[in-house]
Amino acid sequence: MTRDEFRVEKAACLAPMAGVTDRAFREICIEYGASCVTTEMVSAKGLVIGDRKSRMLMEVTGAEMPAAVQIFGCEPVIMAKAASQAEKTGCVSVDINMGCPAPKVSGHGGGAALMKDPVLAAEIAKACAEAVSIPVTCKIRTGWDEGSVNAVEMAKRLEDAGVSALTVHGRTRRQMYAPPVDYDTIRAVKESVGIPVTGNGDVIDPASAQLMLDKTGCDAVMVGRGALGAPWVFKIINEYLKTGAVIPEPPIEERMAVMLRHIARLCEYKGDYVGIREARKHAGWYIKGIRGAASFRREIGSLESLDELKALADKVIESQVDES
């Protein structure tokens, strides 16, 4: 896909989340209608020096398309080299992380720290756009803190640098993930540029997705934490945006079946030892809100095998039937 062919569908896409949006989760979200998925953020420096973990993080497959690879860093030359490596994976676009609030990223000049230096941010974007033939996008925040809300300036500079689309998380870095979402600044960004803008922040269901679209005029919405343990959220949101129909949440049997399919892939791709340990957090999200969740969560904390997870899933289903 070339920059001229790049389009943003009026639908819900999956946000990049470190430690969450790996291959197994991305595939499940695509199956449930995510319009696009993005890898966990990948260190540009790690890619350039040949770090094995960084290379693994950016691997994408046909089963998760359309998929973007997200990179982070603060040096234009290194970021351009990383973007070139990312393009070779077959991804549809390269996304530059300019919004991560984590100290280990922003504390070293990457992620949200770039909000403090729009000139450098634009230099990075330009270098990446010139290094690849596929679209380059950027994910930004509204600013570093409430005293430096500069997303509009950033957006204009990034558009001029050759960026094909933007995602705006409606919070400052100082806010981290605390409310409220700044819809006004997202709208101001949308009105200031001619490229597609995706709104991000507290989109968890059809109502919040519609609210984001109505308040900002953005082209699409991005779902992050709302997809944890609920990959079907994309199907629900997208059907509502398309037809106005409200699809009910899946029954407990389907929820547990999706969880098991997800974790089975996790174990297949990462090995049983790593997979089942990462499964513990995902399983905790899949049972959120059900009766007896606290008790089941204690059992999840000591899971050692896929068979144990299957037995727990059966127990969860039986408990809901018994009490219904």
Q: Is there a single domain that holds both residue 125 and residue 230?
A: yes
Cα angle 218, 220, 226 (rounded to 5 degrees) comes to 115
Is 138 within the bounds of a domain?
yes
Catalytic entry in 29, 36, 91, 100: 100
DSSP 39-89: PPPEEHHHHHTT-HHHHHHT---GGG-SEEEEEE-S-HHHHHHHHHHHHTT
- Where a domain ends, among 200, 226, 243? 243
Mean pLDDT (the chain) is 94
Rounded to two decimals, the pTM is 0.93
- DSSP for residue 2: -
Residues in a beta bridge with 315 = none
Measured CA to CA, the distance from residue 80 to residue 286 in angstroms comes to 38
Predicted confidence at residue 3, as pLDDT, reads 62
Average pLDDT of the segment spanning 152-177 = 96
- As a whole number of angstroms, the distance between CA 310 and CA 34 comes to 26
Residues 127 and 257 in one domain: no
User: Which one, of 131, 143, 157, 141, lies nearest residue 75 by Cα?
Assistant: 131
Which CATH number does the domain housing residue 168 bear?
3.20.20.70
Residues 118 and 224 in one domain: yes
State the Cα–Cα distance between residues 164 and 166, nearest whole angstrom: 7
Q: Which domain holds residue 301?
A: 252-323
d(CA 239, CA 167): 22
Domain identity same for 183 and 274: no
Are residue 235 and residue 257 in the same domain, yes or no?
A: no
What pLDDT was estimated at residue 267? Answer: 94
And the tokens for 196? 């597609």
* Same domain, residue pair 221 and 127: yes
Q: What is the pLDDT of residues 74-119, one digit of tens each?
A: 999 999 999 999 999 999 999 999 999 999 999 899 999 999 999 9
DSSP 204-230: -SHHHHHHHHHHH--SEEEESGGGTT-
Same domain, 236 and 116: yes
Could you confirm whether 267 is annotated as catalytic? no
What mean pLDDT comes out for the span 38-65? 95
pLDDT bucket at 314, cuts 50 / 70 / 90: very high
The reply to whether 52 and 141 lie within a common domain is yes
Residue 6 located in a structural domain: no
Q: Does the pLDDT at position 324 exceed 50? A: no
Amino acid at 283: A
The total domain count for the chain is: 2
pLDDT for the residue 66: 96
Residues 269 and 121 occupy one common structural domain? no
Q: Write the pLDDT tens digit of every residue in 67-77.
A: 999 999 999 99
d(CA 195, CA 219): 10
User: Average pLDDT of 234-248?
Assistant: 96
